[in-house]
Amino acid sequence: MSAMKKPLSLYELNALVRETIEVDMPDSYWVQAELSDVRESYGHCYMELIQKDEASRTPIARARANCWRNRWMLIRPAFERLTGQGLRSGMKVMLQVHAQFHENFGFSWIVDDIDATYTMGDMARRRQEIIARLRAEGVFDLQKELRLPLFTQRVAVVSSASAAGYGDFADQLAANDYGFCFHTELFAATMQGEQVEQSVIAALDAINARAGEFDVVVIIRGGGATSDLSGFDTLALAENVANFPLPVITGIGHERDESVLDMVAHTRVKTPTAAAAFLVARLADVEARIDGAGERMVRVVRLRMERERMRIDKLASAIPLQFSLVRSRGEARLNVLQSRLVQLVDNRLERAAHRLQLVGRDLQPLLERRLQTETHRLALLGQRVEALNPDRLLRRGYSITLHEGRVVRDPRQLSAGDMIETRLEKGILKSRIES
């Protein structure tokens, strides 16, 4: 066998790669990419970058990028303030990066800056594409063609059960100044994060299966950040709402934040409390219209009776005295009819007022039963969470092995040199993988 040069150790080879990169790639570079994964840990942001083929949409390039805490603390608030959103999977970004190779952790791009204006442009383009698609399908204005029922009191609510906005909405309906009764049912959904589209569509499907039980659907969100509104700018969710058979009212943002969902909904208001105020005001308007119609009916009847009385007086003056008895009987009959009509109108108004009062009294027990049900459900969930508590497993003699904060389920997840933690009931063991 011929003589061979002394081989390099892996560390020496990696050090050579690091020195080569530092010498040949000392600059920062602006790169356009799509985020396939974003996560934060200990104040740092870790990203997976991807580029897809324009035609087939299959990945043709991947890379890892890290933004260390000292830069991320500056970049994140500036990005969210300008775009109104946080970084998330599927977002197009333009990053300023420099190359870094570590002998132990390998190659990664280090993020120095993020151009928020590039992402804003891509977001605006995607929103316009969704709006154009909805218009082309002829569904963009379908909700506007629906009519709210006169008595809009059966309300299906899509919201997070724990959201402050949902509590404000329910409280304002229950404590309205007119004593109106509203029957509400919550269809719980995730209102922030990547699960918004799927969760809200599932809630709408559940409502649609019982569409005959409701007059209107209210989609509300309260207490979330502006950056959480991205989930309401999706084609699938907009199509579901646009084609929904019941009028949909949205109260998910603020005055300057209008999502695609707001655009296709029947009515858009600013906040959950504004949605409640809208429903109360509508019912108050219906009540005023009923009262006004009753008053107009009484006036019309009285005017007609007065005219008839004048006509009878005129006829009576032209006929012989012997017909005075007929006239008296006619007047008496008209007086009875007038009294009956007035009484009928008064009775109708009284029944309507009584119905509204009964509807108002029915709301409190319904809310109390709902609260008891949800309290019991939360207690059961708490018991299930306690049963799955990892500490209980540790006390029974089991252990949990972690690598970089994640549970190790397969040895193939680990590489030589990786640090692992083994958690026991009474302490933590740290180890390094040798081979």
113 and 175 inside one domain: no
161 and 199 inside one domain: yes
417 in a domain, yes or no? Answer: yes
117 and 165 inside one domain: no
Q: Say yes or no to pLDDT of 82 above 90.
A: no
26 and 90 inside one domain: yes
Beta strands in 162-293 (DSSP E): 183-188, 216-220, 248-251, 267-268
291 in a domain, yes or no? Answer: no
User: CB count, 10 Å around CB of 364?
Assistant: 11
Task: Report the percentage of the chain scoring pLDDT > 70.
Answer: 93
Amino acid 425: pLDDT? 79
Phi-psi region of 217 (alpha: psi -120 to 50; beta: other; left: phi over 0): beta
Nearest by Cα to 223 from 277, 271, 170 = 271
115 and 158 inside one domain: no
Q: Which range among 224-228, 401-405, 422-426 shows the weakest confidence by mean pLDDT? A: 224-228
221 and 261 inside one domain: yes
217 and 175 inside one domain: yes
Rg from Cα positions in the chain: 35
Chain length of the chain:
435
Amino acid 233: pLDDT? 82
Q: Which of 285, 307, 329 is the last residue of a domain?
A: 285
Q: Which range among 60-69, 237-246, 293-302 shows the weakest confidence by mean pLDDT? A: 293-302
Nearest by Cα to 219 from 156, 168, 171 = 156
Domain of residue 398 covers 392-433
294 in a domain, yes or no? Answer: no
146/290: higher pLDDT:
146
228 in a domain, yes or no? Answer: yes
275 and 168 inside one domain: yes
Query: What six digits make up the tokens of 112?
Result: 């120095």
295 in a domain, yes or no? Answer: no
Q: Which of 261, 285, 309 is the last residue of a domain?
A: 285
What confidence category does residue 64 fall into, taking pLDDT thresholds of 50, 70 and 90?
very high
255 and 152 inside one domain: yes
Domain CATH code at residue 26: 2.40.50.140
- Check if the beta carbon of residue 416 is closer than 8 Å to that of residue 433: yes
185 in a domain, yes or no? Answer: yes
213 in a domain, yes or no? Answer: yes
Q: Which of 263, 285, 307 is the last residue of a domain?
A: 285
Query: Which helix or strand (DSSP H or E) is residue 141 part of?
Result: none
* Opening angle at CA 346, ends 343 and 351, nearest 5: 120
46 and 155 inside one domain: no
Averaged confidence pLDDT in the chain: 85
147 and 279 inside one domain: yes
Amino acid 128: pLDDT? 80
Amino acid 322: pLDDT? 61
* Opening angle at CA 148, ends 142 and 152, nearest 5: 145
State the first-to-last Cα distance of the chain, in angstroms, to the nearest integer: 29
Beta strands in 14-146 (DSSP E): 28-41, 44-52, 59-67, 92-102, 106-114
Nearest by Cα to 220 from 177, 178, 173, 179 = 173
- Check if the beta carbon of residue 287 is closer than 8 Å to that of residue 356: yes
Q: Report how far residue 294's alpha carbon sits from residue 199's, in angstroms, rounded to the nearest whole number.
A: 46
Query: What six digits make up the tokens of 92?
Result: 């197009």
Q: Say yes or no to pLDDT of 225 above 70.
A: no
- Check if the beta carbon of residue 181 is closer than 8 Å to that of residue 153: yes
Nearest by Cα to 275 from 242, 247, 250, 238 = 250
Half-sphere exposure of 148 (CA within 13 A, CB side): 21
Query: Which helix or strand (DSSP H or E) is residue 157 part of?
Result: strand 154-159
- Check if the beta carbon of residue 238 is closer than 8 Å to that of residue 261: yes
Q: Report how far residue 363's alpha carbon sits from residue 185's, in angstroms, rounded to the nearest whole number.
A: 12
What does the buried/exposed string (b/e) look like for 154-176 if buried means 16 or more CB atoms within 10 Å of the residue's CB?
Answer: bbbbbbbeebebbebbbebbbeb
- Check if the beta carbon of residue 237 is closer than 8 Å to that of residue 197: yes
38 and 90 inside one domain: yes
> Is this structure's pTM higher than 0.85?
no
* Opening angle at CA 368, ends 208 and 358, nearest 5: 80
From the number of C-beta atoms within 10 Å of its C-beta (0-12, 13-18, 19+), residue 139 rates as middle
pLDDT in tens, 151-197: 999 999 999 888 888 888 999 999 999 889 999 999 999 888 778 88
Q: Report how far residue 301's alpha carbon sits from residue 189's, in angstroms, rounded to the nearest whole number.
A: 53
48 in a domain, yes or no? Answer: yes
Judging by DSSP bridges, how do beta strands 216-220 and 248-251 pair with one another?
parallel
- Residue in the structure block whose two tokens are 């589209």: 197
What does the buried/exposed string (b/e) look like for 273-283 if buried means 16 or more CB atoms within 10 Å of the residue's CB?
Answer: bbbbbbbbebb
- Check if the beta carbon of residue 222 is closer than 8 Å to that of residue 248: no
Q: Report how far residue 433's alpha carbon sits from residue 417's, in angstroms, rounded to the nearest whole number.
A: 5
Number of folded domains in the chain? Answer: 3
Domain CATH code at residue 196: 3.40.50.10550
Instruction: Give me the mean pLDDT over the 360-368 stretch.
Output: 75
